[in-house]
């Protein structure tokens, strides 16, 4: 398979040793064409650690994946590059696209599974592409929902075993109607603003989240918002500090912000923090990280399939982010796409 003839992708296919996937072992060798596993690697992730660790992983990858597939490396060269690589791989009939990096790389790969707001279809009739993850980033929050350690060797073992299940994907839609997608957590106001600042300090590792929060608190004001849940009536939500919409449980480097979220239940978890002061976060930080904050005063939670959010008084400065990536500003609609992607688990 020829993927994106741009030489900057550093694409390489390798034919490996004996397979680990018993289902394919039973079929005669000539009965099927070997398909591609495309590994989308962000070599600059985690201050360059991702690229270095990937090189160390390759020998183990050769042993585990064997000759079941063509292993294709594709290195990203900048923002949104992983989206383009993923789309090209799916169109050409890749069996799997595996994000190698952090939540940002995974976020882009997930968005590559869609085109013009709809799931992308392969040129090869009947071909489907699965999503995989080898966590090598700063936060790796999505992996925490499954109880996975930040261990790339364990991740390779999961991919080699071939077990897959369908996971939900969240969709974000702005005033223009254009859709963007997330697999982990989307959030609004203070936490989104903190994430925006944190992204500028990734070189400091997980400390970037602390720096981002401190900068976001400067000049922060709680705001009155309005929400419409599952197509119902508009509701007023006063003095909102942060609003989080979780397909999965964790964000911000291990904070269990939407603790009842499940990426396979067909719903999003909405958690709202109201009238929090800066000292509330210090006092209640351990509960936010432990996921025991839903009983705290000023915190509410509910399960939704869709939610529209807007300002009561339009200002245009309420931040929105998804999977730790800045998306834009209110107003915004969030919805769930149940079982949208096959995921190696």
Residues catalogued as catalytic: 103
Can you name the residues that pair with 225 across neighbouring β-strands? 237, 311
Place of tokens 């923002």: 79
3-state secondary structure of 219: coil
Q: How far is CA 335 from the centre of its chain?
A: 15
Buried/exposed code over 197-225 (b: 16+ C-beta within 10 A; e: otherwise): bbbeebeeeeebbeebbebbeeebebbeb
Burial class (CB in 10 A: 0-12, 13-18, 19+), 84: middle
Among the listed residues 137, 106, 138, 149, the one whose alpha carbon sits nearest the alpha carbon of residue 207:
138
DSSP summary character for residue 331: -
118 φ, ψ to 5°? -125, 155
Structural tokens at position 5? 């003839």
CB 39 within 8 A of CB 72: yes
- How many C-beta atoms lie closer than 10 Å to residue 51's C-beta? 17
């Amino acid at each position: 398979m020829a993927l994106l003839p741009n030489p900057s992708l550093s694409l390489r296919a390798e034919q490996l040793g004996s397979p680990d996937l018993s289902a394919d072992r039973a079929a005669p060798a000539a009965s099927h064409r070997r398909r591609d596993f495309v590994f989308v690697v962000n070599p600059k992730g985690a201050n360059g650690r991702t690229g270095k660790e990937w090189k160390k992983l390759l020998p183990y990858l050769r042993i585990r994946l064997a000759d079941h597939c063509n292993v294709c490396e594709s290195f990203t060269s900048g923002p949104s590059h992983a989206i383009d690589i993923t789309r090209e791989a799916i169109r050409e009939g890749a069996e799997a696209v595996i994000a190698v990096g952090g939540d940002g790389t995974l976020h882009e790969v997930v968005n590559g599974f869609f085109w013009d707001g709809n799931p992308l279809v392969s040129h090869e009739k009947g071909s489907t592409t699965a999503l995989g993850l080898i966590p090598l980033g700063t936060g790796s929050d999505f992996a925490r929902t499954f109880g996975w350690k930040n261990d790339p060797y364990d991740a390779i073992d999961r991919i080699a075993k071939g077990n897959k299940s369908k996971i939900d994907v969240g969709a974000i839609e702005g005033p223009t109607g254009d859709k963007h997608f997330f697999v982990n957590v989307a959030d609004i106001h203070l936490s989104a603003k903190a994430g925006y600042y944190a992204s500028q300090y990734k070189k400091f590792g997980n400390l970037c989240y602390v720096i981002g929060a401190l900068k976001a608190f400067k000049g922060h004001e709680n705001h009155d918002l309005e929400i419409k849940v599952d197509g119902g009536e508009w509701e007023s939500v006063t003095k909102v500090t942060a609003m989080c919409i979780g397909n999965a449980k964790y964000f911000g480097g291990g904070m269990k912000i939407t603790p009842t979220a499940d990426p396979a239940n067909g719903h999003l978890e909405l958690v709202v923090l109201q009238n929090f002061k800066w000292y509330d976060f210090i006092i209640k930080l351990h509960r936010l990280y432990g996921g025991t904050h839903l009983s705290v005063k000023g915190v509410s939670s509910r399960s939704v399939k869709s939610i529209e959010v807007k300002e009561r008084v339009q200002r245009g400065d309420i931040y929105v982010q998804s999977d730790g990536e800045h998306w834009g500003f209110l107003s915004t609609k969030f919805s769930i796409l149940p079982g949208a992607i096959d995921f190696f688990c």
